Structure 1
Amino acid sequence: MTVPEPAQSTRSTSKKKSNERQFKGLSLSERKYARREKLIEAGIETYGTQGFFSVTVKDVCNEAKLTERYFYESFKKSEDLFQTIFLKQIEILQNNVMQAVMQHTPSPEKMIKAGLTALLHTLKDDPRLARIIYIDAMLVQELHNQATIHETMMRFDRMIQAFVMLASPHIRYSEQELSLVASGLNGYVTQIAIRWVMGGFKESIEDVLSACEIVFLSLVEKFSNREAN
């Protein structure tokens, strides 16, 4: 005679195993994600205050209050964590600039001032972000080898090009010409930002803003004159 399987017992065993995978209400994947986020926050603090080349994996783990075993659970090496942090910081910076610009359309002058002001305040309000993006990222060879820096600069090039086209929709320049102009503007602001960050933000935001604005405003004026002709 066939004896039916004890369904209730099977369910109890399954539930028990499920409960065993939980710790403090979190699943294994949730705990791993939480540890990864702790390491990212610790990396922002240590890299952003001491510099990438002065920080070891152990330093990051001490800041995160995790063992090195958990570091290598999420990242193969320090450069991988730094790259993750760099891209997150770039996203914050880009979003702040874009939001400021879009709030002041369609006036080109107001869009320029708002976007540049947002960029400068983001840097000065969080010197850790500023150091990671404009000092250490330029020196970490891994980011150059993987084209991360190049791709990031291209993202800002495209953002500036979109602004130029929005500010001067009838401008008679080819897309390639506008791309080169955007790249030049991006490089101009980047070099000013690097000098400002490396100098410890000695110049006032107003002075740095004025220096950045002048090229953008001259460009808008030139484009306006060309449209009029």
Structure 2
Amino acid sequence: MSANAPTPANATAGRRYRGVSNEARKTERRMKLIDAGIRIFGTTGYHAATVKGICQEAGLTERYFYESFANAEMLFTACYLHITDTLKARLQAVLLSMDDEGLAHATATGLRVFFTQFKEQPEAARIILVEVLTVNRHLEELSLKTLYSFVDMLETLARPLIEQAKQGNKGEGQSAHLDSTLLASGLVGSVLYMAARWALDGCRQPVDHVVDNAMLIFTGVGLSLLGPER
């Protein structure tokens, strides 16, 4: 190849700096912006945030912001998905480790994971409980879709209990009308509103106290389905 020939695009993309590829550095910068976005959006709010302020928080220039995001809305969406994907992964790990005899323990562990994330990162609580509803219709729909995904996860817990209750009552009376999706939706809704109130108060109460209160709701449902002997 001639010394004056242009460098192929794939060669430029593959260049390394101090042993780190361009793509790896871009990914690292993107994550810095997401971390900064969570801090800014979760403290000042989406509508008060600026690209300049987020870049200053991340220690990057605006050039690198637009390398990964077209605007603040796209960054907010990435922040929201990072928070909820992390939370879902942790909750799924709890579900995968659950056994039939440890349902109450698994439920309490899942609730503890949920509330602990908000305790350790109150900015995340504001983003997924408040700010996501103020941006635009697209983010509202994303929030609803995410809510349904949590309902689906909880339904995996509720469905066996409902089926057992129906069989025990031979499909008669109140048990005949039980719906695992509706029941899971109600449980998720109660936990979210509890989390919102707790976050509004600055997460002052210990996580274990909040979990104990939430477990009263889940225990009440379990007793209604299976009776006190369970």
TM-score grouping bracket, smaller chain normalisation: 0.7 to 0.9
Given that 2:108 and 2:215 are in contact with CA atoms closer than 8 Å, whether structure 1 keeps it comes out as yes
- Opposite residue 118 of structure 1, the aligned amino acid is V
AA at the equivalent of 2:136: Q
For residue 195 of structure 1, the aligned residue among 187, 197, 205 is 197
Measured against aligned partners, the alpha-carbon deviations of 1:6-32 in whole angstroms (never above 9, x if no partner) come to xxx46x888965765525155554443
**Matching residue of 1:3:** none
User: Contact conserved, 1:120 with 1:209, CA < 8 A, in 2?
Assistant: yes
Following superposition, the deviation at residue 116 of structure 1 comes to: 0.9
Structure 1 residue identity aligned to 2:150? F
User: Which of the residues 46, 68, 73 maps onto 1:74?
Assistant: 68
Give the distance between the partners of 2:82 and 2:159, measured in 1 at CA: 27
Paired AA for residue 132 in structure 2 = A
Answer yes or no: is the 8 Å Cα contact 1:101–1:114 preserved in 2: no
Partner residue in 1 for 2:184: 182
| Residue type of the alignment partner of 2:89 | N
Amino acid at match of 2:217: V
TM-score, normalization by structure 1 = 0.80
Q: Which amino acid aligns with 1:156?
A: F
Q: Which runs of 5+ in 2 are unaligned?
A: 167-174
113-122 or 132-141, which moves further after superposition?
A: 132-141
Q: Identity of counterpart residues, as a percentage?
A: 28
Residue 64 of structure 1: aligned partner:
58
**Partner residue of 2:223 out of 208, 221, 224:** 221
Please name the residue that 1:99 is paired with. 93
> Cα offset for 1:140?
2.5
Aligned to 1:39: 33
Residue identity matched to 1:82:
F
Q: Is the Cα contact below 8 Å between 1:134 and 1:197 reproduced in 2?
A: no
Distance (Å, rounded) in 1 between the aligned partners of 2:176 and 2:86 = 31
Shifted more, 134-143 versus 153-162: the winner is: 134-143
Contact 2:46 2:131 in 1 (8 A): yes
Aligned to 2:127: 132
Taking structure 2 as the reference length, the TM-score comes to: 0.80
Query: Which of the two has greater helix per residue?
Result: 1
Q: For residue 120 of structure 1, what is the aligned residue in structure 2? A: 115
* Cα offsets for 1:38-65 (capped at 9, x unmatched): 2112212222333323320111111222
Task: Find the counterpart in structure 1 of residue 80 from structure 2.
Answer: 86
Structure 1 SS opposite 2:183: helix
Pick which of 15-24 and 97-106 moved more: 15-24
How far the C-alpha of 1:102 sits from its partner, in A, is 3.8
Structure 1, unmatched stretches of 5+, are: 1-8
For residues 207 and 153 of structure 1, do their structure 2 counterparts lie closer, same or farther at Cα, with a shift above 3 Å needed? same
Give per-residue Cα distances to partners, 1:139-161, cap 9 Å, x unaligned. 3225445x101100000110110
Task: For residues 81-109 of structure 1, give each alpha carbon's deviation from its aligned partner in whole angstroms, at most 9, with x where no partner exists.
Answer: 11111111011112222323443422222
Secondary structure at the aligned position of 1:153 is classed as helix
Q: Is the 8 A contact 2:198 2:205 kept in 1?
A: yes
